[in-house]
Amino acid sequence: MYRRPPGLSSPDAAPPAGYPRELLLRVLRYSRGVMDEIDPYAALGVSRTATEDEIRTSYRRLARQYHPDVNPNDKTAEDRFKEISYAYDVLSDPEKRTRYDEFGAAGLQPGFDPEQARAYRRWSEGARRSPFHQDAGEEIDLEELFGRMTGRRGGGFEGFARARHRGRDVQADVTVDFLDAVLGRELRLDVPGRGALRVRIPAGANEGTRVRLAGQGEPGPTGAPSGDLYLTLHVRPHPYFRREGDDLSLELPVTIPELVLGAAIEVPTPDGVATVRVPPHARPGQRLRLRGKGAARRGTTDRGDLYLRLVVELPEGRDAELEELAKGMEPLYADRDPRAALKDGRTGGSGR
């Protein structure tokens, strides 16, 4: 005789419909503490209780270390950089981080519905306590279990899902310009297999950011809604801006007179041209900061900063007058060795 498993409201109760079987199983595995996916916390080397600042600091450090510009033609570093970018995309977004903490990588999958997942988990816990589940260590045979519960042998879940399941979600890759990702814009993009679509790029998007276009996936069965389209963004490098987390950097060429005497200089920013003041007696390599001129911080109205690194630009060609000026400056170094730090052991060498 059929006996109702604990936790089910009636003999005909069924698991939540509308999810692919594999995704439901992944949620169940995570709830049991089994996870074979990349852990974004481990990827960034932070704890699960890390603050936003700790996550941002770790990302910047690792991004600098594994950036493709620093490691040209290094596939391992490139893969590590993508992993770091993906991890930061998850943990810098409060909603994604919450879903990952509760459901693991399954919670980040296209079309994931937290409420349905919770309902399924409650159901699965009841099912594991039922007479039909003989060993808590075994994987649940959903097909047989659903057939027993609904009285429909051979494909109980499939029949359930076929009646209510929406169209399949689709994934595609698109490439956007650097400033479109930094500032966020609505663009018309050619999407593989979908043609030209209007896509809103979220402000502060980065390499690996995913954008959902509702209803742009595969058509559903008769009367069922279409699935969604998920776009993975790839960002074209900028000719002179570089990105580290939410901050941007730029190497700013300056002349020797500008460096020594100070000057007001026009510089490009993501928002257009701005004027920056180079202080008198600035040093080559010194960094100036323009607050709020960096990338947007995801999920907030704040923005990072733009850092300008001063780089001395010498006149082109051989100029006799320039050479005379250089010779005239030699007495200024008479009592100072600009390479003294290299000789006193500060770099770890013997200095000999």
Strands 263-269 and 210-213: unpaired
Q: Single out the residue in 182, 211, 235 at which a domain terminates.
A: 235
pLDDT for 177: 96
pLDDT for 259: 92
- 139 and 251 part of one domain: no
Has residue 1 been placed in a domain? no
Q: Single out the residue in 164, 181, 207 at which a domain terminates.
A: 164
Residue with tokens 């005909």: 12
For the sheet containing 306-312, what is the strand order? 242-244, 247-254, 306-312, 287-290
- 317 and 334 part of one domain: yes
Q: Single out the residue in 213, 235, 257 at which a domain terminates.
A: 235
List the CATH number of the domain containing 50. Answer: 1.10.287.110
- 259 and 184 part of one domain: no
- 231 and 246 part of one domain: no
- 315 and 225 part of one domain: no
- 52 and 149 part of one domain: yes
Supply the range of the domain harboring residue 196: 170-235
- 230 and 261 part of one domain: no
SS (H, E, C) the chain: CCCCCCCCCCCCCCCCCCCCHHHHHHHHHHHCCCCCCCCHHHHHCCCCCCCHHHHHHHHHHHHHHHCCCCCCCCHHHHHHHHHHHHHHHHHCCHHHHHHHHHHHHHHHCCCCCHHHHHHHHHHHHHHHCCCCCCCCCCCCCHHHHHHHHHCCCCCHHHHHHHHHCCCCCEEEEEEECHHHHHHCCEEEEEECCCEEEEEECCCCCCCCCEEEECCCCCCCCCCCCCCCEEEEEEECCCCCCEEECCEEEEEEEECHHHHHHCEEEEEEECCEEEEEEECCCCCCCCEEEECCCCCECCCCCCECCEEEEEEECCCCCCCHHHHHHHHHHHHHHCCCCCCHHHCCCCCCCCCC
Has residue 249 been placed in a domain? yes
Has residue 13 been placed in a domain? no
pLDDT for 337: 81
- 102 and 150 part of one domain: yes
- 225 and 263 part of one domain: no
pLDDT for 131: 54
pLDDT for 116: 73
pLDDT for 300: 79
- 93 and 42 part of one domain: yes
* Number of domains comprising the chain: 3
- 180 and 148 part of one domain: no
Amino acid at site 211:
V
Has residue 9 been placed in a domain? no
Residues of the chain with pLDDT under 50: 1-19, 21, 23-36, 133-164, 347-352
